Amino acid sequence: VNGQINDEEQDQQALQIYGSVLTSTGEIAGSTSIKVDSMDSIWSSNGEYVYSGLETGEHVARAYFMNNGHTVIYRMVNIDSDLELDWYENKNWITFKMFDDEGNQIIQSDNAYVSLAENSETKSPKDGLSEFGPHDVNSYYTLIAHHDTDDESTSYIHFKMERGSRDSVSYPNLNNFEFHEGKNSRYGFVTNTAGVAIAGIAVSDGNTTSVTNSDGFFLLQNMNVGETSILSFHQSGNEVSAPIQVLVTEGEGWLNHSIELELELPDNATFTTPVQTIPVSPITLTWEGGEFTDYYSIYDGEVDEDNLIYRGYATSIEHTPEGPGMVEFNIVANNSNGSTLNPKSLRIIFLPSQSGDELWRVGMSWGYKVDYTPSGTIREIDMTMVGTEMIMDSFGTEKQAFLMRLTGDYQMPEERSYRWVDSENLLNVHTYWVDDPESSSYYTEGTLGWNFTDSDGASTGLFGLSQEIFVHFNRTNVIGVPGHPDGYDDTFNTIIKEEGVLVTTPAGDFETTYYRIIDNEDGIVSWELWYNNSVKNWVRIVDRLSGSHSERVEYELLSYNVPTTPQFITQDSDLATMDFTIEWGEYPGSTGYRLFENGAIIYQGTETSVDFSDALDGEYNYVISALMDGYSIDGDSLSITVDFVPSKPNVRAPTSVITEGDSITLSWDVVEGSEWYSVIVQSENGRTIEAYNGTETSAIIEISEIGLNRIRVNTMAFGKVSEYSDSVFVTVEESESGDFSIVMIFGGSVFLAMLTGVFLRKQGDLGKGEVG
C-alpha cells in the first residue's frame, strides 16, 4: 500500500510536454520522434504528442521528422509546469537569459528587455528561459539587449539559426544566449581578398574561440566593454592572419575581416574501390584526390601511424590483409598546410575458410518478406551464408559468427548489406548497410550483445534446456545520415520458451520452438522468434524495437535452400582487372576439388580458392566439383566477365613556371604491363602536340608556347589504351632578351617607316616644282 501511495505522489509531481507536430507550412507532419534528454523516444503519426514523466528544470528537447526530409530540431526548454510546445519542420527557437553586472540572473524588470530586430519582437526576462520563435533555420538574426541601467546600455548578438544536434557539446546552445550587463559581442564574416568566405577559421580572443561556418561567419560573446582584446586567426593550427586589436564598446559589434594570405588545405580524397566481400587475398585499393594535395596516407584501421600501410603520390596500391574479418580503410590527403581526413571509410570484408561441423555452411540461403512499421514498407530479401569469422559483440566478448550477405531487387548496384549472426544462438551481433555511392554516402552499423543466464544466474544459451531464460540485451546503432540520431538500447529481459508451436508462412507450415522475449521494465514483448530444425533458422521473427518499442519489423519465411552441392563464395561479377580470385566453401566429406573454366579443368587440389592473373578480356563460366571417395559432386556455377581497363598514369607535378627556351623533366609511376607512354601538351589556344612517346617513365619536355600549358600522359598496357592522367599545368613566361629583341625590331621598323615617309614627301615636292 505504501508503495502504491508513493508511486501516485510521484506521478502527480511528474510534468509533461505536449502539442502538435507540423510541417513548415503548418500541415500535420508524418511520423515524428520526440525525445527529451537521454530518455526514450516517443512517436507521433497523427500530428499530436504527449511526453510525460519530466522533472522541473532545464531540458534538451528534440523532434526528428522521419517522413519530412529526415530533419531534426533541438532546443532548450525550461519546465515548471505542463508545457504546450508545437514543433515545426525547419523552424527553431531562440532562448536567452539576462544578468546584471554582478552576474545575477534578472528574473523581472520594468526596463530590461531583448528585441529581435528582424521581426520587431520584444521579450522581457523571466525566471528560467525567455524565447523568440519558432523562426526559420539557416537564417541570420540580430538580438539587442537593453539592460536595466540609467545609461541605456545595449548588447548586440548577430547569429545564424541552427537545427542543433546531439553530436556536439555546442548544441543546442548555438541558439541559446546569455546577455550580461557590461559585456558585448563581436561578430562578422572572414573572407579572402577576393571576397570569398573562408570556413574553418578559428577566431579567438584568448578566452573563447569561434570557428567560422560555411558562410565564413563567427561570433564571440560576452567580451568586457571598455577593454581591448587581441583577436587571432588560425586554420588547422596555422596562423593565417596577423592578430588585430579590438576595443569592445556598446552597440553593434560588426567586425568583418579579410585575410590576404589564404592557406589551402587539401581537398578530400575518396576511395573508388567499392565495398565488397572477398576471400583473404591481396586487394587493389584505388582512390581519387582533389586539389591542393601533395601526397596521400592510407590506414588499415583508425588513423594512427601504427596502422599506416601507404604514404606517397600514387592513387592505387595492392594490399594483403593479415587475416579474415572486416577491415576499415581510411584515407588522408596531405599538403604542407595540413591534412584532410575523409570521414567516409572503405569497408572490405575478407572471408575466411569454414569448418565442416557447424550448424550452417557456405551457400545456405533464406528468403524473407520483411514488413516495416510504422513506415509500411514491405520488401523481399535473400540472406546467404558466405563465411564465418570471430567478431566482438557490444559487451566486448568475442563471438564466432556466420557472415550473411543480404540482397534484394530493391537494392542499387553498389548497395551492400551484411549481418553477422552468432553461431550459437542465431541472433545478430553485428549489422552493416551502405548505400550505393551514386545515390548517397549514407550508412548504418549496429553492434549487439546477448548475455543469457538461467534461473540460478549461470551462463546458458538460447537453445539450452531451460524453459525460462534471462537475457541482458545491448545494442548501439550508428546511423550515418546527416541529422539522424543514433540508437542505443540496454534492457533486461525474460525469455519464455514453448515447444511444438505450429506456424504457417508463405514457405509452408512448420512445427517450431517459440521464444518470447519480454522486457522486464515494461512487460512488453520485444521479440517473438519461431525456430524450425529443418530450416535451421527462424521461420518468423517479430522485432519490436527494444526499449521504446516504437517501431516493429516482421520477417516471414518465403523460401530456404540448404545446398547439397559445393557452393561458390565469389559472386557473379563484371571486372575491369586482369587479376582476381575465385573462392568456394568447404564441402563436408570431400577429399579435394576440381575447378572448370568454360568446360576445361584448370585446377585440382585441396585448396578452396584459385588466383587468376593476366586474364584476357572475355566471359568465363566456372563450375566447382567436390571430389569424394570414388566419385565427384558437381556444384554451383559462376560467371565472370573481364573487360580490362589499364590504370591511368600517376604524374608527379613538375615545376609550375619556366622561362621561354627552358625545358621541364616530367615523371610518372610505372603502369604494369605498359608498352608505351605518350605525353601530350595543349596550349592556351587549343593547339595540341605529342611531346613524347616511349617506354621510359620520365621525359624532358620542351614547351614552345608562351602562357599556360596543360600536360597529360596515357599508356597502352596489354593492348588496351588507358585514360589520360590528371592534368598538370606549366606556365611559360617570355624571356627578358626576347622582350628586348621585340622592342628593337619594333623600334627599327618605326624608324624605317619615318625615313620612307620623308623620302616620299621630298619626291612629291620635286614633282610639284617641275609641273609649276
- Mean pLDDT over 680-688 rounds to 91
Instruction: Count Cα atoms within 13 angstroms, Cβ side, for 524.
Output: 15
Residues near 762 by beta carbon (within 8 Å), at least 6 away in sequence: none
Fold for domain 651-734? Immunoglobulin-like (2.60.40)
Q: Which CATH architecture has domain 1-89?
A: Sandwich (2.60)
pLDDT confidence band for 227 (50 / 70 / 90): very high
pLDDT of residue 631: 66
Fold for domain 270-349? Immunoglobulin-like (2.60.40)
- Nearest to residue 612, comparing CAs of 586, 564, 573? 573
Of 291-305, 346-360, 758-772, where does mean pLDDT reach its minimum?
A: 758-772
DSSP state of 124: -
629 vs 554, higher pLDDT:
554
Q: Which residue has the cell 580503410?
A: 329
* Cα–Cα distance measured from residue 284 to residue 266, given in angstroms and rounded to the nearest whole number: 24
Angle at 580 between CA 577 and CA 586, to 5 degrees: 160
Task: Write the CATH number of the domain with boundaries 352-561.
Answer: 2.50.20
Q: Tell me the percentage of the chain whose pLDDT exceeds 90.
A: 53
Q: Tell me the percentage of the chain whose pLDDT exceeds 70.
A: 88
Q: Are the C-beta atoms of 90 and 71 separated by less than 8 Å?
A: yes
Fold: same for 1-89 and 573-642: yes
pLDDT of residue 8: 44
pLDDT digit string (tens) for 68-94?
A: 776 889 999 999 999 999 999 999 999
* Cα–Cα distance measured from residue 190 to residue 220, given in angstroms and rounded to the nearest whole number: 13
Residues near 99 by beta carbon (within 8 Å), at least 6 away in sequence: 105, 106, 178, 179, 180, 181
Q: Are the C-beta atoms of 175 and 164 separated by less than 8 Å?
A: yes
* Cα–Cα distance measured from residue 102 to residue 723, given in angstroms and rounded to the nearest whole number: 70
Residues β-bridged to residue 207: none
- CA 169, distance to chain mean position in Å, is 20
Fold for domain 573-642? Immunoglobulin-like (2.60.40)
* Cα–Cα distance measured from residue 402 to residue 419, given in angstroms and rounded to the nearest whole number: 8
Q: Write down the domain spans for the chain.
A: 1-89, 270-349, 352-561, 573-642, 651-734, 737-772
533 vs 336, higher pLDDT:
533
Rg (CA), the chain: 36
Q: Which residue has the cell 519582437?
A: 121
Residues near 109 by beta carbon (within 8 Å), at least 6 away in sequence: 98, 124, 125, 148
498 vs 3, higher pLDDT:
498
